[in-house]
Amino acid sequence: MTAILVPTEGPAEVINARRTESLDAPNILNLVGPNTEPQFGLINVVNIIEKAVLAVTLNNEKEDVLAHAAFFDYPNIASVDSAEWQDWMTAHYDYDKCTPLNTLFMHYFVAKSEFSHGSAREIIRTVFNAVPDIHFLFLIVPSGVTPEPALSDIFQTADKKEGSSSLDNMSVLVCHRHSHAPVLYVRKARVEDHDDLTPIFNRQSDMLKTTYGDYFLAELIESQNEANHAIIVENEGSAVGFMSLSNDVDLELLNDCFELGPFHGLYKPHEDDILKPPTPPPVEVPETEEEQSGSQNGEENPPLSRSSSISSKKGDVTATPSSVPRPVSGAGSKVPPATPASTQLKTEVAGSVIDSTIEPKIQRKLSDAHMTSAASDISDHDDAGSVRSAVSKKSGSTHSTPREATPQPSASPDMRPPSPKFSPIYHGDSNAFSIQLFCIDEKFEMRSLDFLPMAFSLFPEKEFCVVTVPHLVPEFPLLQSFVRATPKCPSILPQELYIFNRCGLLQSFNVRRVCTSDVEAVESVVEHIENKECLMKDLMLYTKAKRDLDGTPIHAYVATCLDQVVGVAITRREEDIEYIRSHYNVEDFIYFNHHRRDEHGHLHHFALNPIFQHQIKHFLKEVLRQSHHTCLYYPVYPQYGAQETKGKHSLVTSLNHMVPVRARRQIIYPSEKLGGNNPSDRVLKQQEKYALFHLNRKLTLEPKVTINARIVVVGASDTGIAFLETLVFCPHLRFNNLVLISPHGLPGELEPDSRRSKFLSTSHCYSQDELSQVSLRSTVNVVCAKMLAISRPSKYVKVSGGTKVPYDHLILCTGQQYQVSAPTGANINKLVNNSQLPNNPDRRHTGRVPKNVFLVNDEHDADRLMQCLEKNFTHSGGRIIVYGRSVDAYTTIQSLLALGISGSRICLVLPPLKYDTTCFNNTDVEKAIHDAMQSEGVELHSGYYLAQWNDGKGGDEVYCASFTSDTKPVKFECSAFLCFSRKAVDYDAFKAINDSCLVYDGRLVIDSLFHTNDLSIRGAGSLTKFQRKYHADQWTHSNFNSKEVGRSLAATMLHLFDPTVETDTEPPAEDHNLIPSYYDAKVIGGLLPGGFHYLHFAKPNLPTPLEVQVSQPDYGRQLVTGSVEGESPNYFRLHVNQYNNLETMTCLSKQPLDTSNLLCLYNLHERFLNNMVSRFDEGLIQDFYQFFRETWCLAIFHDRFSDFRQEVKELLVQRPAQDVLSLEEKVRDLIDQDLQLQKQDRKFLTDEFTSTGSKRAVETRLLSFLSYNYYHLPMYAKPGMV
């Protein structure tokens, strides 16, 4: 918020009001004046910034801090309990209307003396505008202390009650909203308002003027009747805002496209309403729960699942043209009966071949679960009805915020709703009116809610106000108090629906502790909450003893409206805070040392009536205040988590309002060497992994920026997961419409299985534990289906089953998968060799795949293969042929051996090398693996192409396979054929891309910013290649780290949505047609035959034989310890480049590897590693495995060590003074003079490093790093310990 501030002396300043950051503390301390301490006491500025619910700072264009104020939701009086201040206030002062919802207390204020008066007024105005519900600001100072003049002009002495014996040592002053940002006057619009309103409309959009003419607004106002009204807000006699209302709402269309069960479909309750599916007839073969939830049922056999009780209806929807914007009027045709179909993906054993006739399974995100079930319908309960009836009688005013709304939309003509399951049938009248047109001057947009009391008074029989807005329109302030309706997935309506209930006008929303009489009301509120039994059990524990059986205190609160319970929250003290601090980046959001241990709370249950969803943050703020907590934590466990662990929580309705916390990488400690210097058991303890959500006092009044754009990601590759992870972990953004399309849904959802997880090699981008700590299922809707087509004009993706998923931005990152190789057709009886093949050996098999031919592309394929082998193969005869020369082929052979299949029944056939490099690119490693396989009895044949199955006779199964080579062909009996010969783009993905006229040149063609030839479609990962103009055909995303590519893609997308990121007015120009640079290591690992643990990382590069690399003059040197031979092979190879940075590492050992530790070594200078090269040359390092398990290097493996390195770099780059060169600049000057530093130059730099204080600064920063992370690094001595 920008304003102009006029000081008492000097020129005016353009100032900006923003939220205070902890980094502002030093500048704020500089503003402390002689009156500050007498007024507010001795204040720890960082602590007050950390715990204030709202802290505001004013700064000028030079980023100089001019003023600061901190506001709390309780008074700064030590003798008044922060949880009970309202009783104190009403007992002693005439402010009975003051509630925690509308009151804040100023705890601190400082300003530059010449700007103090203007700054105080600007801060007060900012607070009232930022928090529309606030009506009272209080200032409490010691008696006898006069507030500084800037505050005295604003705050007035509060009125005491007669006979009150309030605190004699304190003076209470108050500031009212009406003095700074008054509630706007609302009235019916008149034609003469046209002249005031037209400039406001024209400033925001000229679309209406262009469409309907210059006088459309006057015509709209003049055409008012009982069904259509127009109202305005005015300031100083001039209209500054306009709202057009209508009771003509197409509820049938809205119910087709949105989950309106929680709002009774926006109809009035009627005794004939059918809200639940009828009880199904008994069946002989019961379906599983999963099949029921995803199956498609006709009227004769409705689904059992309550979650499918709301669905869309098929109908022809047309827009009704009109001279003014109006709601869509659509007529639905009769719904044909649906045919039952299983949602289980129909697959052939060769791979994921999806039956295009089966409706896809849709997994809704957890954060919207409370808004999708008809079971939570508020009209089911008499108490909800009583709230509505009470509100209907109330005509009081409310307050809050604004913008331009769009007309009610029509459904896209090219999209039809999916076949219905069960839809509630409503017989009541419409219970909603709509906002058709809305606009307000930007100066007053935070007062948009002032329209609503008048709007509801014009429709006294309606309980709901609705408005639709296009997906790409940013959420304006009016909508922040509305409840977003959850779209059905997919929805045919290209708009978002927002709903406001009449109850939202009430100011009687209170939070208090639970009492025994609330139990029955709470049970009604949570009747349909998942795991409600646990919630009620905890509630009964609270009512009986207020603590657990082990003595842990329980806090239980209810939210009430007109003394009726509408929500409940239950918390406990967070007992695992040391574990949370050490395993999650909570310090991204709080200064941990400023929060006492008992100030951390654990949220177990939270439920709130849907019509009060806009009060969630206030409810949570009250829970924090009344429980004396400053932070709340809530875990989300994976689906496969133990019920004993998951059963302690119910699914809270506040996930959207909390922030996800990134998990931290953990050090693997050599516990046997550390002994008593190990971290504490609270840090090291092993427990089930979970995703963590967090809220603290600072965040309770900080709204997130809502992004409604429909972002559809096709493919659950590492790139796609990294892209989604980056978006959902932006704490200040809320993406409402993230959708992932993948045949098997999200990775990592299957229960962990050590055998299944080892079938394929790993890129170490995401482990199962890491995926559970990300928990994308909490924030991403998942369509378990395969992409079949893309309609670019209509902007939707057609998936298997015929479902259409609309998008605004489409991300294609399907990657490449192993394909079934087509036999060349060579007749081995004619002794054909590889030079005489009738067909290309790289062809893809296009016919029916024999049922014992397998592809393994992910954990689901591995799981099916395991089940098939264990059922049909493990204990019978027959041979398995593994065809291919990828690392996955070797890891699969090891998994087959681990399943108990004899090596003599396994045959590995290696096709001829296409390039000069093998998958290992290391002859020592490859020889060791081949020797290990042969020792297990595995047959190995190299240089062979697949010629025929069953001698070319076809059939449903392969019983023999023949191969050709450069010499003699071979033929093998075959009971199972595993194909790992070639990865390529999936055929269905290729066809969808090609048919939609996206440029495809062997792969999807993109530019350096991931754009295809359609600006709304981006591509990334191994699916793509760069445009030919870059002259880099050999380089693709396959050469880079997939996780880094996904994050880079997300960064380019965030420029479109994140208001904190500066946006370019024009598309950025590409730099000389260069492809982007990526720096993270390319990693591969796995368990190989012989029980070898394999790990290899290297910088991104093109495939080049190792021998060729080593022969280059600028290669650097390689350091090798151990051997691949012997009883205990422990081969460890390091490549140190010419700059002494560690660039490549290859590990092969039969002992488990400390993988997460070893990956930290990439690109480190060898001096960080205890002068590794010189120690190696001196013969002091005989085993790199043992060397990197020594205790000295544990700090290097710390997840924040890279941040420490960056801090040190900044110390050496920054100039100590404006006219003094930095150390880096001095080094550059010396190198510019002579590329080789002389001995005297090195001495000069060493002296400079010491004399300028740089050495001391680096040492101080190192000690700070070790001290702050001491809970992870207690093995390091600190000053004073020795």
pLDDT value, residue 404: 39
DSSP one-letter code for 1105: -
Say if residues 815 and 1023 touch (Cβ distance below 8 Å): yes
Is residue 387 pLDDT above 70, yes or no? no
Cα–Cα distance for residue pair 745/511, rounded to 1 Å: 40
pLDDT tier at 339, thresholds 50, 70, 90: very low
pLDDT value, residue 646: 86
pLDDT value, residue 1233: 79
Is residue 233 pLDDT above 90, yes or no? yes
Q: Of residues 1280 and 1119, which shows the higher confidence score?
A: 1119
pLDDT value, residue 345: 33
pLDDT value, residue 916: 78
pLDDT value, residue 1064: 58
- Using CA atoms, how far residue 1183 sits from 179, 925, 929, 1133, 1148, in Å, is 76, 17, 21, 10, 13
pLDDT tier at 1023, thresholds 50, 70, 90: very high
Judged by average pLDDT, the poorest of 405-409, 418-422, 642-646, 720-724 is 405-409
pLDDT value, residue 1070: 57
- Tens of pLDDT, residue by residue over 399-409, are 333 333 444 44
Q: Of residues 406 and 684, which shows the higher confidence score?
A: 684
pLDDT value, residue 1127: 83
- Tens of pLDDT, residue by residue over 62-96, are 889 999 999 999 999 988 999 999 999 988 888 88
- Tens of pLDDT, residue by residue over 497-540, are 999 999 999 888 999 999 999 999 999 999 888 888 999 999 99
Q: Of residues 829 and 1081, which shows the higher confidence score?
A: 1081
SS3 per residue for 1006-1071 = ECCCCECCCCCEEECCCCEEECHHHCCCCCCHHHCCHHHHHHHHHHHHHHHHCCCCCCCCCCCCCC
pLDDT tier at 1068, thresholds 50, 70, 90: low
What are residue 396's DSSP bridge partners? none
- Tens of pLDDT, residue by residue over 881-901, are 999 999 999 999 999 999 999
Q: What is residue 1156's three-state secondary structure?
A: helix
* Averaged confidence pLDDT in the chain: 87
pLDDT value, residue 1051: 95
pLDDT value, residue 327: 34
Cα–Cα distance for residue pair 266/243, rounded to 1 Å: 21
pLDDT value, residue 215: 81
pLDDT value, residue 96: 87
Is residue 317 pLDDT above 50, yes or no? no
pLDDT value, residue 766: 96
Percent of the chain residues past pLDDT 70, beyond the cut: 88
Task: Spell 1137-1166 as b/e; 16+ CB within 10 A means b.
Answer: beebbbbbbbbbbeeebbbebbbbbbbbeb
pLDDT value, residue 353: 47
Is residue 55 pLDDT above 90, yes or no? yes
Measure CA of the first residue to CA of the last residue in the chain; give whole Å.
53
pLDDT tier at 298, thresholds 50, 70, 90: very low
- Tens of pLDDT, residue by residue over 1153-1179, are 999 999 999 999 999 999 999 999 999
Is residue 304 pLDDT above 50, yes or no? no
Is residue 417 pLDDT above 50, yes or no? no
- Tens of pLDDT, residue by residue over 652-665, are 999 999 999 999 99
Is residue 763 pLDDT above 70, yes or no? yes
- Tens of pLDDT, residue by residue over 779-816, are 999 999 999 999 999 999 999 988 999 999 999 999 99
Is residue 393 pLDDT above 60, yes or no? no
> With a threshold of 0.85, does the pTM exceed it?
yes
Amino acid at 747: P
Cα–Cα distance for residue pair 361/357, rounded to 1 Å: 12
- Tens of pLDDT, residue by residue over 980-1005, are 999 999 999 999 999 999 999 999 99
Q: How much is the average pLDDT of 1233-1250?
A: 84
If one counts every other C-beta atom within 10 angstroms of the C-beta of residue 540, the result is 13
pLDDT value, residue 371: 78
pLDDT tier at 1231, thresholds 50, 70, 90: confident
Q: Which residue has the tokens 């600061």?
A: 68
Question: Tokens for 222?
Answer: 């003049």
Helix segments in 72-187, DSSP class H: 85-92, 116-130, 149-152
pLDDT value, residue 1215: 86
Nearest partner of 138 among 94, 182, 103, 96, judged by Cα: 103
Is residue 622 pLDDT above 60, yes or no? yes
pLDDT value, residue 420: 53
Q: Residue 797: CB partners within 8 Å, gap ≥ 6?
A: 712, 714, 741, 787, 789, 790, 791, 804, 805, 807, 810, 992
Length of the chain: 1282
Is residue 1209 pLDDT above 70, yes or no? yes
Q: How much is the average pLDDT of 591-615?
A: 94
pLDDT value, residue 167: 67
Judged by average pLDDT, the poorest of 616-620, 1003-1007, 1224-1228 is 1224-1228
pLDDT tier at 1229, thresholds 50, 70, 90: confident
Q: Of residues 414 and 636, which shows the higher confidence score?
A: 636
Pairing, β 796-799 against β 787-791:
antiparallel
Cα–Cα distance for residue pair 821/816, rounded to 1 Å: 14
Question: Tokens for 754?
Answer: 């050590």
Q: How much is the average pLDDT of 333-354?
A: 37
Is residue 1226 pLDDT above 70, yes or no? yes
- Tens of pLDDT, residue by residue over 156-186, are 999 888 877 766 688 999 999 999 999 999 9
pLDDT value, residue 13: 81
Which helix or strand (DSSP H or E) is residue 1088 part of?
Answer: strand 1082-1088
